[in-house]
Amino acid sequence: MSDVKVFYPEEIEDTMFPQKPTVDQAVVSSPSGQTYSPTQTQEQSFPSKRVATELMTSSLNTRSKKILQSFGFTQSGALQIGEYTQGVSGDVKLSPNGIVARNDLGDTTFALDGTTGDAVFKGEIKSGSLVTGEVIVGNNRVIIDGENQTIIINDGTHDRVLIGKQVGGF
């Protein structure tokens, strides 16, 4: 066991926090013969905090949280309103491809496809009035045609119920 080495921690002397240097400590000579010494920095105060006193007040009322005038929008990738948190809050996402909203349970409550024009709604659709050319239900099996004043119900092969005016028909 004579080859076992014992290591002891190195002792480091306490060094005092630097004080104002004396003239002898501050002067350093370079090989070119020039003498350097540290410069004295003048005491400075912290800059004062700048607070905005007006933020688009003619267009936006930050107290009432109301938009007072129209805004111009620039092209952007997408926009998210709210932050989805399970059981707490839903969100709405807008992009060039459409709009999607979901509730606090994570269910999509409505979606508008910007590419195809398809719309999906989870809840009821209510309107004071509805103006449309045709309403097609299912796989073109029930057609309500307001322009031609007809209702057609088809079994997949033949029109079984015809209600309304049909040129050359009954």
The owner of tokens 């014992």 is 6
At 49-68, the pLDDT tens digits run: 887 665 556 777 777 778 88
Look at the pTM and tell me if it is higher than 0.95: no
Q: Kindly state the tokens that stand for 122.
A: 């989870």
- Summary mean pLDDT of the chain: 80
Tokens of 61: 């009322």
- Cα–Cα separations (whole angstroms), residue 38 to 19, 27, 86: 13, 8, 61
Structure tokens at 83: 């932050």
User: How far is it, in rounded angstroms, from Cα 120 to Cα 141?
Assistant: 20
Q: What residues have CB less than 8 Å from 39, skipping those under 6 apart? A: none
| pLDDT tens-digit map of 130-157 | 777 788 887 878 888 888 788 888 888 8
Structure token pair of residue 30: 């370079």
Each residue's pLDDT expressed in tens, for the chain with a length of 170 residues: 568 888 888 888 887 776 665 555 455 556 676 766 777 778 888 888 887 665 556 777 777 778 888 877 777 788 889 999 999 999 999 988 899 999 999 999 999 999 999 999 998 888 877 777 788 887 878 888 888 788 888 888 888 887 886 666 65
Single-letter amino acid, residue 46: F
